[in-house]
Amino acid sequence: MTWYNFIFGKLSLAYLPQSLVAWGAVVFMVVVGVTAIALLTYYKLWKKLWTEWLTSLDPKRIGVMYIVVSVIMLVRGAVDALLLRVQQATSVGDSHGIVTSTHFQELFSAHGSIMIFFVAMGFMFGLINLIVPLQIGSRDVAFPFLNSLSFWIFVSGALLINFSLILGDFSTAGWLSYPPLSELAYSPTVGVDYWIWSLQISGIGSLLSGINFLVTILKMRCKGMTLMKMPMFTWTVLGSMSLVVFAFPILTVSLALLALDRTVGAHFFTADAGGNMMMYVNLIWAWGHPEVYILTLPAFGIFSEIVPVFSSKKLAGYVSMVYSVVAIVFFSFVVWLHHFFTMGAGADVNMFFGIMTAVIAIPTGVKMFNWLFTMYKGRIRFMSPMLWFMGFVILFTLGGVAGVLMAEPPADYQLHNSLFLVAHFHTMIVSGVLFGYFAGLTYWFPKIFGFKLNEKIGKQAFWCWLFGFILAFGPLYMLGLMGATRRLDHYDASLGWQPLFIVAGIGAVLIAIGLVVQIVQIIVSVVQRHKNLDTSGDPWDGHTLEWSIPSPAPAYNFAVLPEVSERDDFWHHKHHNRKLPPLPYEDIHMPKNTSAGIIISIFVFLLGFGIVWHMWWLAVLACTLGIIAVVDRTFSENTEYVLKAADVAEMDIALRARHASNLQTP
């Protein structure tokens, strides 16, 4: 080994971007980064950004940062999707489109990984951080520093997956990197290594968050809030975090085994050396199908909060909704094999998993009927959060019907490797996850920032997303039935597929316009925030505990910890003019801001980068320093400060006077 190989590992100038598209991405990132730095410097915001945001342990600020990162990654994932659709619309006959076949494989691998791990998961944990402590009457999460560390580890994974644009390449083996495509023989470059370690890092952050919120919900509920008095969003988060705790260790092991195959020749999944490729497929989907419900359950919870508010009724069938959450959590672990019906598991195994796949549709159907019963004879207000729900009902029902069809192994044999499956998956995830999180962000935005998002622009964004989605994925169902396969970057003109691919491309453009409109909505709302100030404390006439405090919620959440006696306790107090018994203000212990999470995440990023490029000295150094930083934080003293009761009383009285809160408290 030469000194160069020791220092730089596999890194060389040959790994710089090789195409105009890749260089365009690099230039775009540099321009955006330089512009952001210039603006922060010009407006002298660096100190405020560092002291009030980046080092904060306030779950509300951590939640906002999760969402900001997720929006950035959503833009990246949307650009990848646009390139895919343009390629498929133009690469026909003698034309070979705008990207090479290899680059096309990188694009769809990156698109899937980014949208699941860094968009959907980021939005989910962002909203959980913002709302769950407020809904359960808690001032914080169970482990504030662990919450910050989880976020910054998530950021490290996001940085690593984007770094593949600058140095090296990305995986061409798909968003779940099945062997043998992901083994060294077929993927000798660093692309799969980038995929492994960006997902491994972010997955560990997700696991830590899952443990944190599971403990928070089980141990930090306010007095009187039994499990059957929890809001439905909190119930769905409890189910989702239970899945995280049990499913994400499977992902960690799967990625670790694949990494060992690629770095030390372990051959867990290489068939010619005694390994078993199907073991990887079973492991990855034993995580992967619970992951679908990890993402959708909190969205279901959001809809369960929104529908009663905008129907002016109580949620119909609360108990059945709770049991349906529990049923989904259980059944999500016994359906994973329907993702590979075509791989020869046998008729008996396929039959069992086909039946289980059909059965899991039942608790989901229970939720759908409960939402519709809630709307029945209600005074429905079609505000933008409710529109996102209505769009979800339409699309999710269509996608669910397609899913039940594919639950039949004989039908799946024909449809599994086609664009029909791609359309089904996107229908379920976009409508059942993104639409839910967009609805939740709109609904709870005034609680976090003190003003509403512009309603008119929000509705315009919704219609762009709805019609764009129908145009983008409706043709894919038809193309799948016509025989168009997944991962298709070129096809013969005689097949007559191009018009449908063009329509799909137009739909993707319309979705991109919807995303731009959403960003414009936020900008316009910030500029005009004085016109949209929340002066009531409860802008949507909400029914759960988070609306009982002024908007935006103070750092300590509750000046006086609440006691609840009813399900939807705040609604009962508000609409029956009940007064809470006077409670004394008390000293509040708050965690101090710290940069330890950022420092540890830097070492985590360097560890992943070092392993990807076989720079072992860097990996060992980063791992050692990271462990030292963790130990130092563990034994640190003075990690909290105290807000005196008199100061809390003064701040609370001032906040309530300014916001004229509906809830009458001492």
Highest CATH level, class, for 45-533: mainly alpha
Q: Which of 588, 555, 559 is nearest to 59 (CA)?
A: 555
**pLDDT at residue 192, rounded to an integer:** 97
Confidence check: pLDDT of 542 > 90? no
Name the pLDDT band for 124 (thresholds 50, 70, 90): very high
Locate 151 and state its tokens.
């976020």
| Average pLDDT score over residue span 122-141 | 97
Write out pLDDT tens, residues 507-522. Answer: 999 999 999 999 999 9
Rounded to an integer, the average pLDDT of 98-111 is: 94
Side-chain-side CA neighbours of 520 within 13 Å: the count stands at: 13
To which H or E segment does residue 642 belong?
strand 640-643
Indicate the pLDDT class of residue 664, thresholds 50, 70 and 90.
very low
Strand, coil or helix: 563: strand
174-229 pLDDT tens trace = 999 999 999 999 999 999 999 999 999 999 999 999 999 999 999 999 999 999 99
Q: Please tell me what DSSP assigns to residue 271.
A: G
CB atoms within 10 A of CB 123: 28
User: How much is the pLDDT for 532?
Assistant: 65
Q: What is the mean pLDDT of residues 114-136?
A: 97
Q: How many helices (H) and strands (E) does the chain have?
A: 23, 2
Confidence of residue 578 (pLDDT cuts 50, 70, 90): low
Q: How confident is the model at residue 581 (pLDDT cuts 50, 70, 90)?
A: low
Residue pair 386/379 in contact by the 8 Å Cβ criterion? no
**Closest to 619 measured CA to CA, from 2, 1, 10:** 10
Contact 460, 517 (CB under 8 A): yes
Range with the lowest mean pLDDT among 21-30, 325-334, 359-368? 21-30
How many other C-beta atoms lie within 10 A of the C-beta of residue 253? 13
pLDDT at 2: 82
Tens-digit pLDDT profile for residues 225-272: 999 999 999 999 999 999 999 999 999 999 999 999 999 999 999 988
Predicted local confidence at residue 579, as pLDDT: 57
Given a cut of 50, is residue 613 above it in pLDDT? yes
Rounded Cα distance between 83 and 76, Å, is 11
pTM: 0.95
- Res. 13: pLDDT tops 80: yes
Q: How far apart are CA 80 and CA 665, in angstroms?
A: 51
User: Which two structure tokens, joined as six digits, stand for 496?
Assistant: 């007559």
More confident residue, 5 or 52: 52
Beta carbons within 10 angstroms of residue 580's beta carbon: 15
Query: What's the pLDDT tens digit per position in 397-438?
Result: 999 999 989 999 999 999 989 999 999 999 999 999 999 999
pLDDT of residue 638: 82
Phi and psi (nearest 5°) for 491?
-150, 165
Q: What is the pLDDT of residue 269?
A: 95
Q: What own/partner pairs with CB < 8 Å and gap ≥ 24 does 244-249 have?
A: 244/206, 244/207, 244/209, 244/210, 244/214, 244/294, 245/207, 245/210, 245/211, 245/214, 246/290, 246/333, 247/286, 247/287, 247/290, 247/291, 247/294, 247/333, 248/203, 248/206, 248/207, 248/210, 248/287, 249/207
CA angle, 444 as apex, 440 and 447 as ends, to 5°?
A: 170
The pLDDT score that the predictor gives to residue 46 is: 94
For the cut 90, the answer to whether the pLDDT of residue 612 exceeds it is yes
- Least trusted range by pLDDT, from 59-68, 526-535, 646-655: 526-535
Residue 466, pLDDT score:
97
Range in 34-43, 198-207, 437-446 with the lowest mean pLDDT:
34-43
With helix as H, strand as E and coil as C, how does 81-142 read? Answer: HHHHHHHHHHCECCCCCCCCHHHHHHHHHHHHHHHHHHHHHHHHHHHHHHHHHHHCCCCCCC
pLDDT of residue 425: 95
pLDDT at 26: 84
Q: CA gyration radius for the chain?
A: 25
From the centroid of its chain, how far is CA 60?
16
Residue partners of 315: CB distance under 8 A and separation at least 6: 232, 304, 307, 308, 321, 370, 374
What does the mean pLDDT of the chain come to? Answer: 92
Beta-carbon contacts of 566 under 8 Å, excluding residues fewer than 6 positions away, are 229, 572
Model pLDDT for residues 156-166, shown as the tens digit of each residue: 999 999 999 89
- Over the stretch 561-576, which tens digit does the pLDDT of each residue have? 988 888 888 887 777 6
Among all chains, which residue has been given the structure tokens 């086909």? Answer: 354
Chain-centre distance for alpha carbon 497: 33
What is the per-residue pLDDT for 6?
84
Query: How far is CA 27 from each of CA 17, 33, 226, 609, 652, rounded to the nearest angstrom?
Result: 11, 10, 54, 21, 48
User: Residue 658 above 80 pLDDT?
Assistant: no
Percent of the chain surpassing pLDDT 70: 96
More confident residue, 283 or 533: 283
* CB contact burial 377-395 (16+ within 10 A = b; e otherwise): ebebeebbbbbbbbbbbeb
Residue 5's CB: how many other CB atoms inside 10 A? 13
Region 382-410: mean pLDDT is 94
- Round to whole Å and give the CA distance between 95 and 88: 11
CB 633 within 8 A of CB 596: yes
Give, rounded to a whole angstrom, the gap between the first and last alpha carbons of the chain.
73
Model confidence at 55: pLDDT above 80: yes
pLDDT of 577 strictly over 80: no
Pick the more confident residue, 636 or 628: 628
Please determine, for residue 482, whether its predicted confidence score (pLDDT) is greater than 60.
Answer: yes
pLDDT tier, 528 (very low <50, low <70, confident <90, very high otherwise): confident
Q: What pLDDT, on a 0 to 100 scale, did the predictor assign at position 586?
A: 87
